Amino acid sequence: MRARLRLALWLEKLRRRNLQKIHPLEQLFWESTLRCNVHCLHCGSDCISSIETPDMPAEDFLRVIDTEITPHVKPRSVMVIISGGEPLMRKDLAEVGRALQQRGYPWGMVTNGLALTEKKFRELREAGLRSMTVSLDGLEEDHIWMRQHPLAFEGACRAIRLCVNEPYLAWDVVTCVNQRTIDHLPAIRDLLWGMGVRNWRIFGIDPMGRAADNPELLLTDEQFRQLMDFIVAEREAGRHVSYSCEGFLGDYEGRVRDYLYQCAAGISVASILIDGSISACTSIRGKYYQGNIYRDSFWDVWEHKFEAYRDRSWMKKNAPCKDCKAFDFCEGNGMHLRREDGSLMLCHLQRLGQKNP
Amino acid sequence: MKNKRFLLWINLVLGSLSMFLVGCHTQKKAAQATQPENDTQVEQAAEGDRVVCKYGVPAEMYERPTRKYGTPDMRDKE
């Protein structure tokens, strides 16, 4: 590992220690619905249970915002991200957005674009929508296969076209790459850049949720390195392509993202899930919930719980972290990759063949 | 509160230093400064049904998909 990178990672480690002490709330995810209009092969949001799980009433979420968060933060410093399922399934999405805007919170959403008409887009913009992420996972055939809906590609492209040239909107496209699409990345890039996309984030798929039993969705280690090299080359060519926030990437740190790796779950990122559970990122489930808004004070939980997120030394008990010299920089990889028993599903360093750099 | 503010300032310095060392910020600025060679092309792509592609892939690949599956338009339905 080059010396400058190592020094930068040590500085980042000090910064992370401070952040763990302060834990400023900067991003709040709201899992507004589990309903969805597509049936993605890789969904980790447990959308199987969408029919039985009712949407959280907007007033419950806003009550938490008003009584438990606003007294303790500057609203403009907390980005509220509405996620799902598919947030556009909620008829009151614009009303919720407007309520957040009136309270001074910037807000954004993640969408598959299928239900995003121009009328709905304008309505959301007038309600204060400040950021949007559109999911597009490949060229037409592959995207439709991934999303299991014949209009999925058309919907995503329409959403992208609505975002292009829209003033004061921070937006990007997210692609979950898999074995079918890894060799199509240059063509996908051409499609996106041809449509006017200038910010593209690429994710691998983790072996969880619906993807756990579908090996075609999971990249091999060699393909994962291919993905890293593609992103490095794109950035060197001046295109803003990034890898997702996930995973410590060893020698690729500083080369595939705009920042050095840090799992911010429970440190600056929290979420309120569909049933009121208080967690960090919405993909962190089960044992790692910290409370519930229907039983606990969100702010008390944020201030005094999340110990497992803010002191990750417990992760060193298990392989592969036990003897890993990169633990100081990595701190056990992303929380969402921890199983209920604390073991790690996936080590990015091992995938890259760089364990103990 | 003072301690918190102090730590935030320290973090700002640490973050800036680490970004400087690895050049992340310069990469981001360079990438964001990249403009399409022909701005008109982006406008055309946003307005029309046809996506124009200048990176070597035939534009015909990206013509507006036809509804070959016979599914009604689901855009306004939940």
Other C-beta atoms lying within 10 Å of the C-beta of residue A329: 24
Q: Which of B28, B64, B78 to mutate to test the interface with A (most CBs of A within 10 A)?
A: B78
Identity of residue A45: S
Q: Which token pair is A57?
A: 């009433």
Q: d(Cα B41, Cα A74) in Å, to the nearest integer?
A: 41
Contact across the interface for B8 and A9, Cβ inside 8 Å = no
In the predicted structure, residue B34 carries a pLDDT above the cut 60: no
CB contact under 8 A, A8 and B51: no
pLDDT of B24 > 80? The answer is: no
Which token pair is A167? 């003033």
Any alpha helices (H) in chain A, and if so which ranges?
A: 3-22, 58-63, 93-102, 118-126, 140-147, 152-163, 185-195, 221-236, 298-304, 307-310, 327-330, 348-351
Contact A38, A152 (CB under 8 A): yes
- Report the pLDDT value the prediction gives residue B47, as an integer from 0 to 100: 39
What is the nearest CA distance from B43 to chain A, expressed in angstroms? Answer: 8
Cβ–Cβ of B27/A258 closer than 8 Å?
yes
pLDDT of residue A63: 97
How many beta-carbon pairs below 8 A join chains A and B? 142
Q: What are phi and psi of A78, to 5 degrees?
A: -115, 115
Closest Cβ–Cβ partner in B22, B61, B62 for A260: B22
Q: Using a CB–CB cutoff of 8 Å, tell me whether B1 touches chain A.
A: no
User: In this predicted model, what pLDDT tens digit does every residue of B2-15 receive, in sequence order?
Assistant: 688 888 889 988 88
Q: Which residue has the higher pLDDT, A48 or A277?
A: A277
CA atoms of A102 and A89, how far apart (whole Å): 22
Q: Which of the two residues, A209 and A119, has the higher pLDDT score?
A: A119
pLDDT at B28 over 60: no
CA–CA min distance B2, chain A (Å): 11
**Neighboring chain B residues of A235 at a CB cutoff of 8 Å:** 27, 31
pLDDT of residue B63: 37
Q: What integer is the mean pLDDT of A33-52?
A: 67
Which of A10-24, A255-269, A287-301, B55-69 is least confident? B55-69
pLDDT of residue A105: 97
- In order of A188, A216, B49, B78, the CA distances from B11 in angstroms are 37, 41, 48, 45
Closest CA to A273 of A251, A288, A258, A253: A288
Nearest-by-CA chain A residue for B64:
A154
Q: Is the pLDDT of residue A345 over 50?
A: yes
pLDDT score of A167? 86
| Digit-coded pLDDT (tens) for B36-67 | 444 334 434 443 333 333 333 333 443 333 33
Q: Tell which wins on pLDDT, A91 or A285.
A: A91
The residue count for chain B: 78
For the stretch A84-134, pLDDT in tens is: 889 999 999 999 999 999 999 999 999 999 999 999 999 999 999 999 999
- The DSSP letter of residue A64 is I
- Which residue in chain B is spatially nearest to A9 when comparing CA positions? B18
Supply the pLDDT for residue B56: 33
The share of chain A scoring above pLDDT 90, in percent, equals: 71
Interface of B with A in 3-62 (CB under 8 A): 4, 7-8, 10-11, 14-15, 17-19, 21-25, 27-28, 30-34, 36, 41-43, 45-46, 51-57, 59, 61-62
Say if residue A224's pLDDT is above 50: yes
d(CA A147, CA A185): 18
Of residues B59 and A292, the one with the higher pLDDT is A292
Instruction: Give yes or no for residue A291 having a pLDDT over 90.
Output: yes
Q: List alpha helices for A34-184, DSSP H.
A: 58-63, 93-102, 118-126, 140-147, 152-163
pLDDT of A135 over the 60 cut: yes
- Put simply, the answer to whether A238 touches B21 (Cβ < 8 Å) is no
Query: What is d(CA A84, CA A89) in angstroms, rounded to the nearest whole number?
Result: 9
> Is residue A121 less than 8 Å (CB to CB) from chain B?
no
Q: Is the dihedral of CA A215, A220, A225, A226 positive or negative?
A: negative
The percent of residues above 70 in pLDDT, for chain A, comes to: 95
Question: A345 vs A304, which has greater pLDDT?
Answer: A304
* Mean pLDDT, all residues of chain A: 90
CB contact under 8 A, A8 and B18: yes
The CA distance from A241 to A253, in Å, is 14
Q: pLDDT at residue A49 above 60?
A: no
Chain A partners within 8 Å of B76 (Cβ): 115, 117
Mean pLDDT of A224-246: 94
Q: Measure in Å the smallest separation between the Cα of A201 and chain B Cα atoms.
A: 13
What is the band of A330 on the pLDDT scale with cuts at 50, 70, 90? very high
pLDDT value for B69: 33
Task: Calculate mean pLDDT across residues A224-239.
Answer: 94
* CA A189 centroid distance within chain: 21
In chain A, whose CA is at the least distance from the CA of B22?
Answer: A254
Tell me the C-alpha distance between A41 and A33, whole Å.
18
- In angstroms, rounded to a whole number, what is the distance separating the alpha carbons of residues A76 and A59? 20
**Nearest residue of B to residue A5 by CA position?**
B22
